[in-house]
């Protein structure tokens, strides 16, 4: 029960952040709220494949005009921290840690090799240990990477989509 109350509070805060990031609503438009319940999120995450990184959209909606926002559920097994990523588009990501413990690096410069797995890593940047309940806001064009996973992790990603690249769901 406490988890449901906490998730609802986090969603309310994140919704306010998204509203302040989105372009202003024209006078003739009436925004409509979209519900993504904690039960639906948990069911979605529980059904993700457990043998690989699963990063799948739960819900993507048009917020105002042509501006979209999406919620993704992610499962990342401890055995696969993965490579560093940097979105070349103006997509801000907000991570909400549902379960697990990891080290997340943001900023810095992408490198061609990652000491943990084949792929890219990050040189420099800021490392932080993230745990259940943490929220991290990663601006567009910012390198990011889970350099170490202490456990399997589950997290939500709230992605802004000012360029309408995501398919509505």
Closest CA to 147 of 95, 88, 76, 91: 76
Domain harbouring 94, CATH code: 2.60.120.10
Quick check: is 125 in a domain?
yes
| pTM: predicted TM-score of the whole model, two decimal places | 0.79
pLDDT at 108 over 70: yes
Q: Answer yes or no: is 151 within a domain.
A: yes
pLDDT in the model for residue 31:
56
Residue 27 lies in a domain: no
pLDDT in tens, 115-137: 666 668 899 999 999 999 999 99
Report if residue 30 sits inside a domain: no
State the residue range of the domain holding 139.
2-21+37-161
Q: Which residue in 137, 113, 114 sits closest to 126, CA to CA?
A: 137
Tally of domains within the chain: 1
pLDDT in tens, 8-18: 544 544 544 44
**Could you tell me if residue 6 is inside a domain?**
yes
Quick: pLDDT tens for 49-78.
999 999 999 999 988 777 899 999 999 999
Averaged confidence pLDDT in the chain: 82
Q: CB-hemisphere CA count at 13 Å for 42?
A: 8
The contacts found for 114-117 with CB under 8 angstroms, 24 or more apart, are 114/83, 114/84, 114/145, 116/81, 116/147, 116/148, 117/80, 117/81, 117/82, 117/83
CA angle centred on 137, ends 43 and 116, rounded to 5° = 80
Give the whole-angstrom CA distance, residue 141 versus residue 158. 16
Q: Which pLDDT value is given to residue 78?
A: 94
**Structural domain includes residue 87:** yes
Residue 166 domain-assigned (yes or no): no
């Amino acid at each position: 029960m406490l988890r449901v109350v906490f998730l609802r509070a986090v969603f309310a805060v994140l919704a306010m952040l998204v509203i302040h990031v989105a372009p202003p609503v024209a006078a003739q438009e009436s925004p409509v709220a979209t519900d993504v319940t904690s039960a639906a999120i948990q069911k979605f995450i529980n059904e993700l494949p457990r043998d690989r990184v699963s990063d799948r959209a739960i819900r993507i909606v048009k917020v105002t005009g042509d501006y979209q926002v999406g919620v993704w559920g992610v499962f990342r097994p401890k055995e696969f921290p993965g490579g560093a990523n940097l979105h070349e588009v103006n997509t801000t990501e907000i991570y909400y840690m549902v379960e697990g413990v990891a080290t997340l690096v943001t900023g810095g410069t992408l490198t061609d090799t990652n000491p943990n797995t084949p792929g890219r890593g990050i040189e420099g940047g800021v490392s932080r240990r993230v745990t259940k309940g943490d929220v991290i806001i990663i601006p567009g064009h910012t390198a990011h990477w889970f350099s170490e996973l202490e456990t399997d992790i589950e997290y939500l990603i709230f992605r802004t989509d000012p360029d309408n690249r995501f398919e509505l769901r």
